[in-house]
Amino acid sequence: MISDVHNGVHIEFMSTNKPNVGIQYQSFVDNLNDTEIDNICEKLNVLEVENIDKSVINNLVEDCNIIIRDAADASGLFNIICNNSVSGSRRKNKPNKPWFNRECFVKRKEYHRAKNYNWRVKTVESKNSMVRCSKAYKKALSEQFNSYRKNFIKKLRGLNQNDPKSYWSLINRSCNNMKENVVNKVSLDCFLEHLKKN
């Protein structure tokens, strides 16, 4: 019971009880192979300081590890971990923006790294670095977007007279995520006015 100026405060933690399964240390000690331990002790006693090299030490350590691993396995101390994810096949996200290329990705990564560093350190230099990376990232995005728009317009102008089917499919593909065709966005009144002019 904790009180705050004669006002009773009662704190209660609700949690699910899990059975406390104790680790069986005694069975681990009983499962240690005494003959193997004696063999390692004999090897250590026979060793001469002049003849010790890295391979001898690695072999002794490996023998110790085998003894401990076998005892832990016999005692049931190993947990089996099942990993359902497919190893090595991490799916890379495809960016939604066609102008977002490798350069934009690198600049964004640098900006996030500088931002996280500034959040941890909070110095003038880190803030200046973050601002510099932010400007470089925004500049790269702007340049790539503008070049994408110029190329798209150039392609549209070329296809307008030569290949109308490709022209309209390109326009429909470049629409927003609403998946509406450009023709559906134009009102019937606009079509009527256009046809009256011709």
pLDDT, tens only, 67-90: 888 888 888 777 776 666 555 556
Average pLDDT over residues 1-29: 64
Give bridge partners of residue 9 from the DSSP assignment.
Answer: 2
Cβ distance 175 to 186 under 8 Å? no
Average pLDDT over residues 169-184: 62
Amino acid letter, residue 17: N
Give the residue among 149, 180, 182, 176 at the shortest CA–CA distance from 164.
Answer: 182
Give the residue among 173, 146, 170 at the shortest CA–CA distance from 158.
Answer: 170
pLDDT, tens only, 103-160: 999 999 999 999 999 999 999 999 999 999 999 999 999 999 999 999 988 888 888 7
pLDDT, tens only, 19-28: 555 667 788 8
CA dihedral 24, 30, 35, 36 (to 10 degrees): 0
Average pLDDT over residues 15-19: 62
pLDDT value at residue 181: 53
pTM: 0.42
